[in-house]
Chains A and B, each alone.
Chain A
């Protein structure tokens, strides 16, 4: 089955800096890679996703890149703000009977 590794487990940055979270996956059949943001005591919310036919996707201050050859994908947050502080999860899976595998999460702390 799929195995997703996520690094780092904790990331501390100053407000205005960039943050990068990286994930690797094992199953070359995976073709959908979402990123979720989870605030304390709440359910995860999708913030951006990418499919295997695209190498990069951007939405305002967040972007995701995908390298299918190397089987890794990354989340980039620019100009971080304190409200970006949360736990971020990556996931990987394939269409049809979609059962994603999640990384263990990265706790992002943005210091004002």
Chain B
């Protein structure tokens, strides 16, 4: 059963703590993306990676970090430097076989208090 998994579905943290969101795909896609979604704001790109061991900043990378050590995995760390981390986070992937179509995971809702 191919797809993208994100865990956990809901995550709660205290202010000042770093937190890592998981994203795994078994679609054999080269490219992976992280988006942040806030009400009425659409999807804003945080980071993307087009190949293992390489990643690029998106439009709102400040306060976030990523790694891409394996093709299947692209974890996102929300650091304490992110001023407003409470949001819905979406991971996506795309590959040459999908002709740029992005497949999205189910999302993680992060609440920081």
Residues of A within 8 A of B (CB): 6, 9, 32, 34, 36, 41-46, 49, 89, 93, 95, 97-100, 102-105
Contacts and interface: CB of A to CB of B under 8 A. Distances in A.
A98 B50 CA distance: 9
A103 B42 contact: yes
Contact of A104 (B4, B41, B90): B41
B43 A102 contact: yes
A102 B102 contact: no
B101 A102 contact: no
Contacts of B25: none
28 contacts: A6-B42, A34-B101, A34-B102, A41-B107, A41-B109, A42-B107, A43-B4, A43-B90, A43-B104, A43-B105, A43-B106, A43-B107, A44-B104, A46-B102, A46-B103, A89-B42, A89-B43, A97-B50, A98-B31, A98-B94, A98-B100, A99-B58, A102-B42, A102-B43, A103-B42, A104-B40, A104-B41, A104-B42
B31 to A, nearest CB: 7
Contacts of A103: 42
B106 A99 contact: no
A93 B102 CA distance: 12
B90 A44 contact: yes
B74 interface: no
B33 to A, nearest CB: 8
Given A43-B107, A44-B90, A98-B94, A93 B100 contact: yes
Interface string B90-113: 101010000111111111010000
Does more than half of chain B's interface fall in helix, strand or loop, or is it mixed?
strand
Interface string B16-50: 00000000000000010000000011110100101
Given A9-B40, A43-B90, A99 B101 contact: no
Contacts of A100: 100, 102
B107 to A, nearest CB: 5
7 residue pairs, one from A and one from B, having the closest CB atoms: A43-B104, A104-B42, A98-B100, A102-B43, A102-B42, A44-B104, A43-B106
A95 B40 contact: no
